[in-house]
């Protein structure tokens, strides 16, 4: 989506290279993440009607965002303004041309969110401890989406595989980092377990990708109840249809046709709409990789009752 950036002064832009890795607090982050933006989250002005979508990457972020957008837009994808969900709050405002040209001055995406009208839908992959404290003091709503980790890493590999980022995130290295907890955004295990432990707070909802897949209608209902936005039967039907993989692909294709592709294709190449199924990991993992993964998984998930469906 083309944004009017004229209201931002030179002071709003930051010096940041998107080529290479970013480290903050001893954790590696995607190169699109700006360390000063993570710092800025400590004092970020949360609004009580904000709706935050928090995920580890490739876990269904855009799917959950689309459901929320559709709920706020009475099931009509045409009226959705996706400005605040075309990026994650901790990243730069992504412009394909500046990325391709290796430009080093970028507008942090949180500055766009700061000026957005309410209610804002805000996406973040940040682990809970880096999210603004205002989320809890203002009782903003947080939807956390978790997905079985084998599909997460498989999806991620497909997503970054053809990009420059793919060079340093190739499959075996990525798998090892994922198991070690040294991949971008830190340990997936800590990420999901922390939010699982907070799931009973009234401003938090924990949903699983596989449950959304199994019963999309129930998923929409659960989210609408959580947001205290009751739906008529007719609107519910519309939301289920437009947030299905097919429905969303149609909406995203349309956005792209209209020349607003940076929103739906990260790095201008990889679509957020890929396969949209459970268990695509089976075509990616070798038998021994799977055995090793299961061993690590058992060990790291021994202290939680959080369970995932892998089939
Ligand atoms: P796959 O790569 O396995 O297909 P994120 O939005 O967090 O980046 O997650 C992207 C993943 O969610 C991709 O997974 C994508 O296809 C899937 N996805 C997006 N919309 C979906 C939908 N409506 N239904 C099912 N899966 C969806």
pLDDT band at 3; cut points 50, 70, 90:
low
pLDDT at 166 over 90: no
φ and ψ of 184, to 5 deg: -50, 140
Q: What's the pTM? A: 0.95
CA–CA gap between residue 211 and residue 63 (Å, rounded) = 13
pLDDT at 203 over 90: yes
pLDDT band at 169; cut points 50, 70, 90:
low
pLDDT at 157 over 90: no
Phi-psi region of 60 (alpha: psi -120 to 50; beta: other; left: phi over 0): left
Q: Which CATH class is domain 10-143+202-273?
A: alpha beta
Q: Which of 37-51, 104-118, 128-142, 256-270 has the lowest mean pLDDT?
A: 256-270
Burial 173-212, CB ≥16 within 10 A → b, else e: ebbebbbebebbbbbbbbbbbebbeeeeeeebbbbbbbeb
Report the pLDDT value the prediction gives residue 262, as an integer from 0 to 100.
Answer: 65
Q: What is the mean pLDDT of residues 147-153?
A: 97
Residue nearest to atom 2 of ligand 1 (CA): 155
As given in the structure block, the two tokens for residue 192 are 């999901």
pLDDT band at 259; cut points 50, 70, 90:
confident
Q: Which of 103-112, 133-142, 166-175, 229-238 has the lowest mean pLDDT?
A: 166-175
Closest alpha carbon to 110 in 132, 129, 128, 139: 132
Report the pLDDT value the prediction gives residue 168, as an integer from 0 to 100.
Answer: 47
pLDDT at 21 over 70: yes
pLDDT at 159 over 60: yes
Q: What residues does each domain of the chain span?
A: 10-143+202-273
Asked about 16 being catalytic, the answer comes back as no
Report the pLDDT value the prediction gives residue 164, as an integer from 0 to 100.
Answer: 56
158 CB less than 6 Å from ligand 1? yes
pLDDT at 1 over 80: no
Q: Which of 5-14, 166-175, 199-208, 211-220 has the lowest mean pLDDT?
A: 166-175
Look over the chain and give the mean of its residue pLDDT values, rounded to a whole number.
92
* Cα 276 to averaged position of ligand 1 atoms, centre (Å): 5
More confident position, 36 or 165: 36
65 CB less than 6 Å from ligand 1? no
DSSP for 112-123, written as a single string = HHHHSPSSPEEE
pLDDT band at 102; cut points 50, 70, 90:
confident
Report the pLDDT value the prediction gives residue 163, as an integer from 0 to 100.
Answer: 62
Closest alpha carbon to 293 in 304, 306, 282, 278: 282
Q: Which of 38-47, 83-92, 262-271, 295-304 has the lowest mean pLDDT?
A: 262-271
290 CB less than 6 Å from ligand 1? no
Residue nearest to atom 5 of ligand 1 (CA): 58
134 CB less than 6 Å from ligand 1? no
Report the pLDDT value the prediction gives residue 128, as an integer from 0 to 100.
Answer: 98
């Amino acid at each position: 989506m083309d944004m009017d950036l004229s209201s931002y002064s030179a002071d709003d832009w930051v010096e940041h290279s998107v080529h290479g890795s970013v480290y903050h607090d001893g954790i590696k982050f995607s190169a699109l993440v700006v360390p000063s933006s993570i710092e800025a989250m400590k004092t970020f002005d949360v609004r009580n009607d904000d709706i935050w979508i928090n995920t580890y990457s490739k876990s269904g972020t855009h799917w959950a965002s689309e459901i929320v957008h559709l709920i706020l837009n009475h099931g009509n994808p045409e009226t959705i303004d996706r400005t605040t969900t075309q990026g994650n709050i901790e990243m730069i405002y992504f412009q394909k041309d500046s990325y391709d040209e290796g430009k080093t001055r970028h507008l942090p995406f949180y500055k766009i969110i700061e000026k957005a009208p309410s209610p804002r839908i805000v996406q973040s992959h940040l682990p809970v401890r880096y999210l603004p404290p205002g989320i809890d003091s203002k009782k903003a709503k947080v939807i956390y989406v978790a997905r079985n980790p084998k599909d997460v890493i498989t999806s991620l590999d497909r997503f970054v595989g053809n990009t420059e980022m793919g060079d340093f995130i190739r499959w075996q290295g990525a798998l090892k980092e994922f198991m070690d907890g040294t991949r971008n955004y830190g340990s997936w295990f800590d990420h999901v377990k922390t939010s699982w432990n907070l799931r009973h707070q009234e401003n938090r909802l924990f949903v699983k990708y596989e449950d959304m897949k199994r019963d999309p209608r129930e998923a929409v209902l659960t989210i609408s109840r959580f947001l205290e936005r009751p739906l008529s039967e007719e609107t519910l039907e519309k939301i289920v249809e437009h947030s299905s993989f097919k429905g969303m692909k149609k909406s995203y294709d349309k956005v792209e046709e209209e020349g607003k592709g940076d929103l739906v294709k990260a790095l201008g190449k990889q679509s957020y709409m890929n396969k949209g199924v459970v268990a695509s990991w089976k075509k990616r993992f070798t038998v021994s990789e799977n055995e090793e993964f299961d061993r690590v998984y058992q060990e790291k998930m021994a202290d939680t009752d959080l369970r995932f469906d892998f089939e």
